[in-house]
Amino acid sequence: MAATIRSFVAVELSDANREELAPHLEECARLAPGYRWVLPDSLHLTLRFLGHLELPALERVRRELQSVRASPFRLTLEGRGTFGSCSAPKVIWLGAGEGRDACRALAEAVEAACQAAGSAPETRGFRAHITLARQRKEGMRLPELPELPPLKPWTVEEFVLFESRLRGQPRYVALERYPLGSDGSNARASAAEEASGSTLKRE
């Protein structure tokens, strides 16, 4: 069977907010061990989950993403939300405030690029969120959590194609970064790619 790579496209959280959230998430993990809390370095807002792709298919996606055109945009984070029941949710997340529509537009452009690369259309509706924790076992109740620290707005200037490695603690490896151009282009990514002539290779 051909090797596959589990991958997804996302916007990373700003470094300042990772630093703000790190002690908060540690405290949450202590209070709610029934949930797997995401490490600060791994926090992201998923634009498109690709799942397991064989290398040629991933290479097509990587190239098509270079045609996505979007301008940088300001993103603010609102409070926590949950998927699933309120008392024992499956997922705990941070919602996007200002910039939510820009995230949706970017996700739609990414979706179009993925389809142009041959991926089947995404059937799950898009909801801009940053997952903070996932329930380890169904029915685990969520205790009261401490208040969120103040989170700072930032400007999203790129999106990223990630490989997701699930052995042990999930680890996300950036395969390619796509800067958003001030003129609504990501020409820098294309230029860099043309200069290097790079293609994806399995380690």
Q: Which token pair is 48?
A: 């498109």
Written as one string, the DSSP assignment of 111-159 is HHHHHHTTPPPP-SPP--EEEEEEESSTTPPPPP-PPPPP---EEE-EE
- What is the number of helices (H) and of strands (E) in the chain? 4, 10
Instruction: Please report, for residues 33, 43, 186, the alpha-carbon distance to residue 79 in angstroms, rounded to integers and kept in the order given.
Output: 21, 15, 31
Residue type (1 letter), 88: A
Residue 83: CB atoms within 10 Å: 14
Nearer to ligand 2AM, 33 or 51 (CB): 51
Site for ligand 2AM in 89-108 (CB under 6 A): 91
Nearer to ligand 2AM, 22 or 91 (CB): 91
201 near ligand 2AM, judged by CB under 6 A: no
Nearer to ligand 2AM, 69 or 165 (CB): 165
Nearer to ligand 2AM, 177 or 188 (CB): 177
Candidates 34, 39, 46, 126: give the one binding ligand 2AM (CB under 6 A). 46
Candidates 30, 120, 121, 124: give the one binding ligand 2AM (CB under 6 A). 124
Given the rule CB under 6 A, which residues bind ligand 2AM? Answer: 8, 46, 49, 91, 124, 131, 164
